[in-house]
Amino acid sequence: MFDFDKIIERKSDKCRKWDHAFVCSRFGDVPQDFIPLWIADMDFTSPPAVIEGFKRIVEHGTFGYTWSFDEFYAAVIGFQRQRHAVEVDKSWITLTYGTVSTLHYTVQAFCQPGDSVMMNTPVYDPFAMATERQGVQVLANPLRVTDNRYQLDLDLTEHLLKTHRPKLWFFCSPHNPSGRIWRADEIRQVSDLCQRYAVILVVDEVHAEHILDGKFVSCLTSGCAAQDNLIVLTSPNKAFNLGGLKTSYSIIPDSALRQRFRQTLEKNSITSPNIFGIWGIIFAYQQGLAWLDELNGYLHGNARYLADAIQTHFPHWKMMAPESSYLAWIDVSADAHSATELTNHFAQQAGVVIEDGSHYVQDGQNYLRINFGTQRYWLEQAIDRMQKHYS
C-alpha cells in the first residue's frame, strides 16, 4: 500500500542528515556522494494523511497563533488508548516544544545546582546535556550486557539511589540506543525503587511506536508504575518523521508535579504551540496508523538484512537484536580498530556516515550506531562500500 523503497531526494531539505557541509563539520572530509546512516531521522516521507492535512493548512493561508484545543487532547487520548492500552486523563497532558528541550525544563523544575539525575548508560546524550547545562550532576548507572542484551543492574541501582539520592531518574523506554524494550516487571521494580528513595521517574517513550520484536509496555499501564512520581515524555516525531516540527507532550498524572512542571514552562514562555506541530500530532495519531504498521514491517526487514550483512562481512562485530526503533547498536570491541577509528574511516574513505558510541554519556565507546530507517537500496550500497573499505 505504501512504497517505502521509493528514493526521496533529501539534500534540498537542508536537513542535517544529508547536508554535506554540516556532515563535514561533524565527521571531517566526507565525499560528496556520501550515504548518511547517522542521526535518528528517517528517509521516508511522512504519512500521506499528514501531508494532505498540511496542504489544507497551507492552502488556507493563515498561520496565526493557536492553542492546545480539544482535538489535540482527543487525538492523544485516543492514540494512547488504541496503541498502548492506557487511559490518559485530559488534565494530565501538556504540549511542549520537543522532548529534548522538555528534558531541560524538567531538570529546571525539579533540581537545584549540585543535585544529581540518574540515567542508565549508555544512553541518548541529550539526557546528560539537559542535566549538566543546569549545573546538575549526571549519575551514571551502567547497564549490564548478558547474551548481547542489556539488563538493569538493580543492586547497583539501589546502591546509587541510597548513596547519592538523585532527584530524577531519566529512564529511556524503549532504550535508546539499543532498542531494548523493558518488561512490565522491570518497570515495576524501577518504580518501586523510585518510590522507596523519593525519586521522580521521568520516562522517555519517544521510541515506543516502532516495535519490531516483542511488545512495548508503557509506564502508564495500570499497575505498572506508581503515578504519584511519574512523568512521561513522548511525541509522534520519531514515529511519523516529524522531528523538525519540534512538538511533543508530557503526561503527568500527579497534580502537584504537573503544576510545578507547568510553572517552569510558563517561566520559559512555553505556551502556544506551532500550528503545524499540533496539527501534525492530530493527523498522525488519527489517520497515520496503517502507514505506521506497514513501516514497522519494512523496518523489521531492514533490521534482518543489516544483521545478516554484518554477520557475513564483519564477523567480529555483534549487533544487538533491535526490539524497537530503527537504530542498530553494534559491539565492535573484538575489532582491531576502535569504534571511533572505524567511524572516521568509513565516513572519509567509504563515504558512509555512521556514529560511534563514545558520546552516549558513557559505556558506549566500543559500539557503532547505524540508522536503518532508510530505503533498502541505501543500506545495500552502504554495506557494499563498507566491506570494500574494511581491512
Q: What is the CATH number of the domain that holds 314?
A: 3.90.1150.10
In the listed set 231, 256, 287, which residue is the last one of a domain according to the structure? Answer: 287
In the listed set 242, 261, 287, which residue is the last one of a domain according to the structure? Answer: 287
The count of structural domains within the chain is 2
Condensed to tens digits (0 to 9), the pLDDT of residues 154-213 reads 999 999 999 999 999 999 999 999 999 999 999 999 999 999 999 999 999 999 999 999
Question: Do the beta carbons of residue 295 and residue 324 sit within 8 Å?
Answer: no
Task: Please report whether residue 370 resides in a domain.
Answer: yes
Condensed to tens digits (0 to 9), the pLDDT of residues 12-70 reads 989 999 999 999 999 999 999 999 999 999 999 999 999 999 999 999 999 999 999 99
Q: Report CA-CA distances (Å) from 113 to 72, 125, 166, 167, 388.
A: 35, 19, 12, 11, 50
Q: How many CA atoms lie within 13 A of 286 on its CB side?
A: 15
Among 49, 47, 42, which residue's Cα sits nearest to residue 375?
A: 42
Question: Do the beta carbons of residue 46 and residue 240 sit within 8 Å?
Answer: yes
- Do both 381 and 315 map to the same domain? yes
- Do both 239 and 302 map to the same domain? no
Task: Please report whether residue 89 resides in a domain.
Answer: yes
Mean pLDDT of 250-272: 96
What does DSSP assign to residue 350?
A: I
Residue 231: strand pairing partners:
202
- Do both 37 and 149 map to the same domain? no
**294: its cell numbers:** 506497514
- Do both 281 and 302 map to the same domain? no
Task: Please report whether residue 114 resides in a domain.
Answer: yes
- Do both 114 and 257 map to the same domain? yes
The percentage of residues in the chain with a pLDDT greater than 70, rounded to a whole number, is 100
Task: Please report whether residue 57 resides in a domain.
Answer: no
- Do both 230 and 349 map to the same domain? no
Q: Is 324 left (phi over 0), alpha (psi -120 to 50) or beta?
A: beta
- Do both 244 and 338 map to the same domain? no
- Do both 243 and 104 map to the same domain? yes
- Residue 1 reports pLDDT greater than 90: no
Condensed to tens digits (0 to 9), the pLDDT of residues 289-300 reads 999 999 999 999
Task: Please report whether residue 55 resides in a domain.
Answer: no
- Do both 283 and 311 map to the same domain? no
- Do both 127 and 248 map to the same domain? yes
Task: Please report whether residue 233 resides in a domain.
Answer: yes
Condensed to tens digits (0 to 9), the pLDDT of residues 305-360 reads 999 999 999 999 999 999 999 999 999 999 999 999 999 999 999 999 999 999 99
Distance CA 348, CA 386 (A): 11
In the listed set 287, 319, 343, which residue is the last one of a domain according to the structure? Answer: 287
Task: Please report whether residue 308 resides in a domain.
Answer: yes
- Residue 83 reports pLDDT greater than 90: yes
- Do both 97 and 231 map to the same domain? yes
> Could you list the residue range(s) of the whole structural domain that residue 297 is in?
11-47+290-388
Residue-level pLDDT at 306: 98
Task: Please report whether residue 52 resides in a domain.
Answer: no
Q: What is the CATH number of the domain that holds 263?
A: 3.40.640.10
- Do both 362 and 298 map to the same domain? yes
Mean pLDDT of 230-240: 97
Distance CA 282, CA 93 (A): 14
